[in-house]
Structure 1
């Protein structure tokens, strides 16, 4: 986990970018419209919105909820899984609406379209985050932290 602001920004950027990339590819495949053009067009605004939501809204709320739950806060795995699951639920809730609006504006049956979109996104976002993106991002952060520690030790 990040130990300072710089590591937090690196970790959040990596995590957010990987999740937006993965979910963008998934949604484009789902709608049979995967192409480099479609991916690059949606990736940048999706990343910007997701990053802002992660840092200023969803991340803050998820951490507040996680630390208020009656959990063993000393157990890193429990806290990582709890925060990750809460983040996924919050981000899928927000980004599903973003995706619907970007795709074509407000549909006639927003409620049913949103419920369907949310469900289709959460079933992929949970394993993507918990099995691939989360461990990958933590591994990269660990390498960065190890390099910093090695550099400080060498000095």
Structure 2
């Protein structure tokens, strides 16, 4: 969707913040035994740490790698929505274990088992959150923010 470097930066920032916040809420709920109003506030404490990490990883490494991986089974002539879903799925497949490792190192008792458990719990949620909620919301927000530029570009 983004057509310029600035648009790509804005898109990636919005995606990183919403995706990371949703996953932090999920992990706080897992750690506290449920979701309360406090869960959403508690998640804000990790957001300033994890969102920039996710942005840097996504923008400089994962987007390119995920796109290459998606095109190992997609063709440029496939429906654009399916290409978007394939790239999004590959991004989750790379970002989820990576971000789970970083969260394990920063916020938990670091061990392979702790990371494997964190990754295992996060993967299904990350995929559902990305494909069904976060991704469509971010694309809607992006189209709304850049409506004029996207219309002018054709």
Please report the TM-score for the alignment, with normalisation by the length of structure 2. Answer: 0.86
**Residue in 1 that maps onto 2:101:** 97
Give the conservation status (yes or no) of the 8 Å contact 1:72–1:78: no
The reply on whether 1:34 has 2:39 as its aligned counterpart is: yes
Once the two structures are superposed, the pairs formed by residues 17-56 of structure 1 within 5 Å of their partners are 17-32=17-32, 34=39, 36=41, 38-56=42-60
Unmatched runs of 5 consecutive residues or more in structure 2 = 33-37
**Residue in 1 that maps onto 2:83:** 79
| SS of 1:71 mapped into structure 2 | coil
Deviation of 1:66 after TM superposition, in Å, equals 1.9
Aligned equivalents of 2:46, 2:147: Cα separation in 1: 34
Aligned equivalents of 1:100, 1:8: Cα separation in 2: 29
Instruction: Please identify the structure whose Cα radius of gyration is greater.
Output: 1
Deviation of 1:50 after TM superposition, in Å, equals 0.6
**Residue in 1 that maps onto 2:133:** 132
Aligned equivalents of 2:108, 2:143: Cα separation in 1: 40
Deviation of 1:47 after TM superposition, in Å, equals 0.4
Q: 1:54 to 1:149 in 2, by over 3 A?
A: closer
Aligned equivalents of 1:99, 1:112: Cα separation in 2: 13
Please report the TM-score for the alignment, with normalisation by the length of structure 1. Answer: 0.86
**Residue in 1 that maps onto 2:35:** none
Unmatched runs of 5 consecutive residues or more in structure 1 = none
How far does the alpha carbon of each residue in 1:42-82 deviate from its partner, in whole angstroms, 9 at most, with x for none?
11110011111101122221112223x14231321121011
How far does the alpha carbon of each residue in 1:7-65 deviate from its partner, in whole angstroms, 9 at most, with x for none?
111111111110011001110111018362x3232111100111111011222211122
Deviation of 1:114 after TM superposition, in Å, equals 1.6
Structure 1 runs (4+) deviating above 4 angstroms are none
Aligned equivalents of 2:142, 2:40: Cα separation in 1: 30
**Residue in 1 that maps onto 2:16:** 16
Count residues in correspondence. 147
